[in-house]
Each structure stands twice: as structure tokens, then as C-alpha cells.
Amino acid sequence: MLLTFDQAKQKILQACTTVKSLEHETVSLNDALDRITAVPIISPINVPRFDNSAMDGYAVRLADIEKSRTLPVSKTVYAGDDIDDLNWAIGSCLRIMTGAPVPNDADAVVMQEHTQVKGQHITFLKDIKAGDNIRRIGEDIKKDAITVAKGQLLSIPTLSTLATLGIHQVCVYKTLNVAIFSTGNELTPIGQPLTDNGAIYDSNGFTLKQLLTKLNCQVIDLGIIPDDPNQIKQALMTASTQADLIITSGGVSVGDADYTKTALEELGQINFWKIAMKPGKPFAFGQIGKALFCGLPGNPVSTVVTFYQLVQPLISALAGQQTLSADLTFKVKTATDLKKSVGRIDFQRGRVEPNDQGELEVKSTGQQGSHITQSFNKANCFIILEQERGNVSKGEYVTVTLFNDLLK
């Protein structure tokens, strides 16, 4: 009995909670992009720090306005001014610029477009309400509030908020060490000539390094290991002493030269091996020593699909991220027939685009074999076809999810 995709993903995420006790380090805000907070970040100040003007215009007291809609200007306040000693005569208004502090006794700021200026006198043309165009102290962020919780991925908008608070360094979890190797007698490193007739290039080794670098992991590259049980075991033992996670490609299927799964069974514990998904049915998951292990299938498309769908959330969880946002999925009509057999969830590659009426629709990228790398190159989304679904005809609704940044 194969595990369903959801069961497999759940087992993977469960394993993460038991494995790693994460270490911390403090990094400059400049180096904090895509890192994960190890402690909550508390705001040292209010934002805004003081009541300030949202417009270039005039600060007024409503009591003055009730008496006269034309008032003389007594002073001008600029952004950056200190207004502690500001004397502002009753029956006058203040010229004020965007970002300038608003005195406590001003009720509103009137934008200059709603006034008429005659020399030093301003006539107010529209209704004025208390609080108009005043940005209040702390209305964005309150002093001492938790601004970023623990276990959050630091994005550019979040870092920008921290910069607003004057925070210049953050305590984050250390990045993961991930060991990789490719298995297969047929594999040749890219950059070297293909000498034997049966030789192919080790594209998975390259791809895994790119994907892991994108996820902020430190890659320990053990290269290509031939289909030899002893050499595979040796590589796994080396990897397990250095890495938080070991990822291999190839050798986890049912062929005579598929030794990776057996090596895992001998050296560590196997959690599960097969998933009812396509591509990616053979996927070995387990643990060797303190390192988690993912044995990805060797076909290049299967390697990327299983990495995206299963290893990516595993790495986020293992690296300390607390809330994993679910992929945003939505339904659109397919503009092409889709071949599908019942019994496994399919992650087909497609292109979602607006049609002539501006409505989104999805097209298959063509042949979906797990060796057809072109199915990925032209795609911008996965078409997720449910396990029990059969062939899909043009015009039926299907679930899609756009590729996230990992593949860009």
C-alpha cells in the first residue's frame, strides 16, 4: 500500500520536530534576508514616533475654524523640526509639511489643495474633521510590541519594517548543512566529455545545489557515487556525520542497481519509501544518525518535483520556520486534454495564462514523462490532479498552483 502524498508530507514534517535543536547567531540586517528569526523581535520605539502630518498643508484648531474660515499663518513647521518650544497663537494656523510633527493642540491638518492662499491668510474651503491628515503616534507599530514572531522567514518588507525601528542586527537560526550526492554508474560531471556510450550528465547534482543554495542551505557536495553498495554506504556515513540533512538522487527504485534504500535500511531507519504521486513514486525518507535522509528518484523531473513538493517544506521546518504557508491553489479550466491514470496524485507541469476574454486558463506543457525536462522549462505552474481522478478533458476545472520563487 503506497502512502498518499498528504500522509508522506505529514510524516516528513513530524520527523522535523524531533530532530534538530537549532543554534542561534546574530547577523547584520544586511545579511538577514531569507533567514529565520530565533527570538521574537520587540519594537524599541513607536512608529510613527510622534503625531505627524500626512500632507503638505495647514494645521488648525477646530475652535478657531468655527469662529472664522480664514486664518493668518503664524509659523511654518518642517519635517525634522523640534516643536517643544513652538508658540502658536490662538486664532491662527500653522503651515506644515508632510512628516512634520503636529502640535498637541492642533485638531487637524488641511491639505493645501483644499485652501485658498491670499498673502499670509488662508481660507479653508472644505469641511474639516478632528484628526484629518494626522498620522498618530504608534498607529503602525506600538513600542514594546512583538513585531516579528520567532520562527518567521525574513522577507524584504519585514526587514524594511525592522529598519524603520532602527534594528540593525537580528538573532536568527544557523543555516542547515545539507549533504548531497548523485548515484549512478552512468553519470559524468558536467564539463567533462561523455566517453562511454551509456554515459549521461549528472544534471541532478547541479540542480540540487542550485535549489539548496536558493533555500539558504550550506551544501556539502559529495559528487557522484557509482552503483556500488559499499561506496554508497561509505558516502552516507560520511554525510551523516557532517550534515543535518542528506539528499541523494537515483537508486531508490526497484532496479537491480538501486542500492540507496538498502543502504539506508542498514545504516539508519527508513520511515517510508513509496508515495502515490506522479512523478516521484520512489522516494525514500528516513534518518541516519542525527541526519534526516531523502532519497529522491533519479529522473530529473521527478527529482525537482519531489524536491519542490516534499523537501522544500522539510527544509523550511527543519531550519526553524514555524508557520509554513500552504501553497496558494486555485481552480481554472484546462485548455488542453490531460492524460491521467487513477491511483496517484499527479503534479503535471502547465502554463497558466489569461485567454482572449482575460480569464485564466491552463495548458499542459506537452509530454509529461519524468525524463522530459522541457515539460518544466515552459511551465509556470503545477496542475495538481487528484489521486482518484482519471483523464481530464479540455474545459474541465483543474487545481493549479503557480511556481514559487524556488524555481525562478
| Residues in contact with ligand AMP by the rule CB under 6 A | 182, 184, 186-187, 200, 202-205, 249-251, 253, 255, 258, 297-300
Q: Give me the least distance between CB of 300 and Mg ion, in Å please.
A: 12
Cβ proximity to ligand AMP: between 255 and 354 the closer is 255
Contact 58, 95 (CB under 8 A): yes
Read off the C-alpha cell for 370.
Answer: 519524468
Out of ligand AMP, Mg ion, none, which partner does residue 51 contact, by CB within 5 to 8 A per kind?
none
Q: How far is the CB of 251 from ligand AMP (least distance, A)?
A: 5
State yes or no: residue 286 binds Mg ion (CB under 5 A): no
Measured from the CB atom, the residue of 50 and 206 that comes closer to Mg ion is: 206
Shortest Å, Cβ 185 to ligand AMP? 9
Nearer to ligand AMP, 201 or 403 (CB): 201
Partner from ligand AMP, Mg ion, none contacting 42, C-beta within 5 to 8 A by type: none
Q: Which three cell numbers stand for residue 363?
A: 495548458
**50 or 206: CB nearest ligand AMP:** 206
- Residue 115: name its binding partner from ligand AMP, Mg ion, none (Cβ under 5 to 8 Å by kind): none
Decide whether 311 or 398 has the Cβ nearer to ligand AMP: 311
Residue with smaller CB distance to ligand AMP, 169 or 210: 210
Q: Is 250 in the site for Mg ion (CB under 5 A)?
A: yes
Q: Which is nearer to ligand AMP, 108 or 180 (CB)?
A: 180
Residue 58: CA atoms inside 13 Å, Cβ hemisphere, count? Answer: 29
37 binds, among Mg ion, ligand AMP, none (CB under 5 to 8 A by kind): none
CB of 276 to ligand AMP, least distance (A): 18
In the complex, least distance from residue 296 CB atom to ligand AMP, rounded to whole angstroms: 8
- Please say which residue, 244 or 258, places its beta carbon nearer to ligand AMP: 258
Residue nearest to Mg ion according to CB distances in the complex: 250
In residues, how long is the chain? 408
In the complex, the smallest distance separating the C-beta of residue 295 from ligand AMP, rounded to whole angstroms, is: 9
In the bound complex, what is the minimum distance in angstroms from residue 184's beta carbon to ligand AMP? Answer: 4
Nearest to 350 by CA among 291, 401, 282: 401
- Write the CB contacts of 264 (distance below 8 Å, at least 6 apart in sequence): 236, 270, 284, 286, 288, 293, 295
All 3 cell numbers of residue 171?
538573532
At its nearest, how many Å lie between Mg ion and the CB of residue 177? 25
368's contact among Mg ion, ligand AMP, none, with CB below 5 to 8 A by partner kind, is none
* Binding map of Mg ion across residues 176-215, x = CB under 5 A, - = no contact: --------x-------------------------------
CB-nearer residue toward Mg ion: 227 or 346: 227
User: What is the smallest separation between the CB atom of 345 and ligand AMP, expressed in angstroms?
Assistant: 20
Query: Can you give the binding site for Mg ion, defined by CB under 5 A?
Result: 184, 250-251, 298
